[in-house]
A and B are shown apart, each in its own frame.
Chain A
Amino acid sequence: MVHAVSGARRTPSLPEVGALHAAVVIAGWRRAALRPRDAAGLALGWLAAIVSGSLLVLASFAFCFVGRTLLSSLLDAGRIDLAVGVAGLLTDASLLVAVLAVALTDPLRSGLDPRPLSVLPLKRSERLAADLAALVFAHPAALAFWAAGVALFLGSAAHRPGVGWTMLPAATGVVVLGASVSLAARRLLLLSRDASTSRVAGVLLRAAILVVPSAGLVWIGASGGSLAQHDGLTLTPTPGGLVGGAVRLAAEHRLLAATYGGLLHLSALLLLASIVRLPLSPDPSSLSGRRSWWPGVLPIEAARIWRPTRASGLFLQGALAAAMTVGVAALAEPRAPSGWPVAETGALLAVWILVSSVAPLSANALGHGGRAAASHWLLPESLARSVARAQAWTSLPILAGVAAVAAASALASPSARIPLLALAAGLGLAIATAGLGCVSSVLWPWPSGMNRQGDPLWAPGPGRLLISVGHGLVLALAASSLFPARETLPAATRAAAAGLILGLGGWLVTLWRLRRRRAEISEALLR
């Protein structure tokens, strides 16, 4: 009988889909470890997998432990205001890290490739639930929001078990909301790679669908804030604000804290209700292709730079360490003798940690970005087009520099100085990396560490030295803000200006070298 279903049935198959996701994640690790053929390479592969995995788990544990200890200590000491702030920061930071981790992972390589599931008889809600489960339990992003959720529960329970139980809804809410936000980020990434929605407007429209519950989330947060203000509290309209409110209410033994946790769950539900309306498999075959417009290319290129585990592991470790340093400095400042530059020292230390940890990533960006830019410039047929493109590219760092200077002028108040300094130094480093990356790629376009497939994307040795010098220069200028010169020239302006000069210099040197050695460089880049 032709139309009879033979041997197949429609089943509620969530456990099976979950098991498939788990198998894919485990196989991904196994394959990453077993890729090298020889015994030494195999051993190194295992070692690298174990070390990078352990680093991520360790960082997550450290994040959780520090959060738990801070929260319980502050509650024990009766510093409720600070405990509220720590809980809020912990939540917002974990959500941000979770979204970044998803955004920097190639969706097709993270064990969550939607294409194999697209031909299976699964309802939208089933696939959404399977994806959500995979993000909660299998994706590295989960380490961020689990750490925050567990820290909130254990920290408040260590203060008093009753407080811990009252905080449980908020703690689990952080996990569920974190996974939902990560899922939303991933869906948007996939949509941005769909050929049929290759016009920006299409993706923006779909993004707007997601904004509806996000706006609801902000509204709920704001309402929570108003409610809390009515109760004598002040909260920010973010999930962290809600969690902070829950901590205060829980510390005062008020069961209303559980309601705040419930609001987080409700926000996650609203978000999921929006995501389920998005097309699951826009056009599966289009997902594998590269798009020429930036929203589609950005995650792919970011993933290529991010992928080598050493680079991403070190960066995550450094980002967490830097965040903790800033947090500890901010907590210590009120107790320090007046005149001690505790916050400034903390900020500089954090920048130094970030610069050290970002070095391998910068080297990747340097090798990859520079190579891509040089290749791009070699393709145009006429010099006029080349110059026009160069102008377009150089306008970006100029705009960034102008924006930084404008921000420095607008926010030159003492309270805004520290984050602004970090922002400007970071901006300067990014611009310097781009420019110096271009230089190194045209000066040394045949790095031995770069394989034929283009990854891992380690920069050439001299290029790594160049980027270190550039970073050092920008950092030194930023650090000089601690000395008397800061009165005459804001440090933020100097750091951004240094990056701008290095970046512009890099692009100019690149243009000059390209004109002189076009054929030779073309050949090297195409090898």
Chain B
Amino acid sequence: MGTVDGTTDRPAAIRCRGLTRRYGTVNALDGLDLEVPPGAVYAVIGPNGAGKSTAVKVFCGLVPFHDGACTVLGLDPRRDAVTLAARIGVVPDFPVLFDVLSPRENVLRLARIRGIEGNEAGRRLDQLARALLADGELDRPVAALSNGAKRKAMLLAAMIHAPPLLFLDEPFEGIDPFSARTIREMLERLCARGVTVFLTSHVLPFVESLASHVGILSSGRLIASGTLDDVVAESGSLETAMLETLGTSSSAPDLEWYTP
């Protein structure tokens, strides 16, 4: 495993050693060693089933880990899950908004639970919604929104309390290029102010344009990690770097039977 170049002297936002999470007999995380410096946009990439979403859930304290050690913002996700939940924003791979409520109702009520005063929450929500949601989407039931709009609404809920650490599981899934660009620019500005972003994605061009650090995950283990420049340096592109690191070549079948 490569090492991460620390960009500041501040303690790491996320640090884990030998992290293991099992589902039955399958090790979703298998001795994961990882360190995310504060203020970084750390992108985890890898094939399906590599353990990316599990890593997000373990770091957020949503599922416990079985072995190893882990601190997120200096807190143990197993022991301090409640305190941690107040200090992070999460867009996980499952719905976290009530279907029958609109994004406005969802976000304002969740903000209230987090202790944000109504007017302030409304101001933040309007600003975020203007940037990300189309007209009318803010007040339509979540169930009636497109998949992309649902993801964006979840992003609003994750950001409304201005957490210093954001976990985004596939933030660009189903998002149109215009919104994706807005999200990218927004995250870049936040990171410039010291916010740390941990994201997983299969959309490698966006990862290349946004991430400061990259980790390549396979079978629950980090097989390459470092700054984006370090990881991409020899390969020329992130896609090539990932394919080379994973050692996979094209195995597309010819499908000789598939003739119109």
Q: Which residues of A contact B (CB under 8 A)?
A: 1-11, 13, 16-17, 19-20, 23-24, 27-28, 30-31, 111, 113, 115-116, 118-123, 195-196, 198-199, 281-285, 287-288
Contacts and interface: CB of A to CB of B under 8 A. Distances in A.
A8 B60 contact: no
A3 B73 contact: yes
Interface in B183-242: 194-196
Contacts of B116: 7-8
A1 B87 CA distance: 13
B92 A285 contact: yes
Contacts of A11: 113-115
B11 to A, nearest CB: 8
Given A10-B83, A198-B24, A285-B93, A27 B115 contact: no
B190 to A, nearest CB: 11
The 9 residue pairs across chains A and B that have the minimum distance between CB atoms: A8-B161, A121-B86, A285-B94, A121-B85, A27-B100, A9-B115, A11-B115, A7-B162, A2-B38
A8 B105 contact: no
A116 B97 CA distance: 5
Contacts of A281: 62
Given A24-B100, A195-B23, A285-B53, A8 B115 contact: yes
Contacts of A119: 60, 62, 85, 90, 92, 96
29 contacts: A1-B194, A2-B38, A2-B196, A5-B163, A6-B164, A7-B162, A8-B86, A8-B114, A9-B115, A10-B86, A11-B114, A16-B112, A19-B112, A20-B110, A23-B101, A28-B100, A30-B100, A31-B141, A111-B98, A115-B94, A116-B95, A116-B96, A116-B106, A119-B60, A119-B90, A121-B84, A121-B86, A122-B82, A283-B62
A118 B85 CA distance: 9
B63 interface: yes
Contacts of A13: 112-115
Contacts of A196: 23-24, 63
A119 B109 CA distance: 14
B125 interface: no
A10 B93 contact: no
Contacts of A123: 82
A118 to B, nearest CB: 6
Nearest to B165: A2
Nearest to A113: B98
A30 B92 CA distance: 28
Contacts of A8: 86-87, 114-116, 161-163
B131 interface: no
A195 B28 CA distance: 13
A89 to B, nearest CB: 37
B161 to A, nearest CB: 4
A5 B87 contact: yes
A27 B96 contact: no
A27 B104 CA distance: 13
A24 B57 CA distance: 25
B74 interface: yes
Given A27-B100, A116-B106, 4 more contacts: A2-B10, A11-B113, A20-B110, A28-B100
A284 B109 contact: no
B70 interface: no
Interface string B162-173: 111100000000
Contact of B39 (A2, A113, A198): A2
**Interface residues of chain B: helix, strand, loop or mixed (majority):** loop
A106 to B, nearest CB: 12
Most chain B beta carbons < 10 A, residue from A6, A119, A121, A288: A119
Contact of B109 (A4, A16, A113, A282): A16
B159 to A, nearest CB: 10
B195 A2 contact: yes
Contacts of B115: 8-11, 13
Contact of A5 (B57, B93, B120, B164): B164
A284 B92 contact: yes
Given A9-B115, A13-B113, A31 B94 contact: no
B95 to A, nearest CB: 6
A8 B90 CA distance: 14
B98 A121 contact: no
B1 interface: no
B215 to A, nearest CB: 19
B7 to A, nearest CB: 11
A3 B164 contact: yes
Nearest to B194: A2
Contacts of A115: 94-96
A116 B82 CA distance: 14
A13 B87 CA distance: 16
A121 to B, nearest CB: 4
A2 B164 CA distance: 5
A196 B95 CA distance: 19
B67 to A, nearest CB: 16
A284 B62 contact: yes
A123 B162 CA distance: 21
Most chain A beta carbons < 10 A, residue from B39, B84, B115, B120: B115
Given A120-B114, A121-B114, A7 B141 contact: no
Contacts of A30: 100
B50 interface: no
B19 interface: no
Interface string B63-91: 10000000001100000001111110010
A9 B96 contact: no
Nearest to B38: A2
Contacts of B161: 7-8
A187 B24 CA distance: 21
B110 A116 contact: yes
Nearest to B37: A2
A28 B141 CA distance: 10
A23 B110 CA distance: 12
B94 to A, nearest CB: 4
A3 B101 contact: no
A1 B100 CA distance: 37
Contacts of B98: 20, 24, 27, 111, 113, 116
A121 B100 CA distance: 22
B13 interface: yes
A98 B216 CA distance: 50
A122 B82 CA distance: 6
Contact of A120 (B74, B105, B113): B113
A5 B101 contact: no
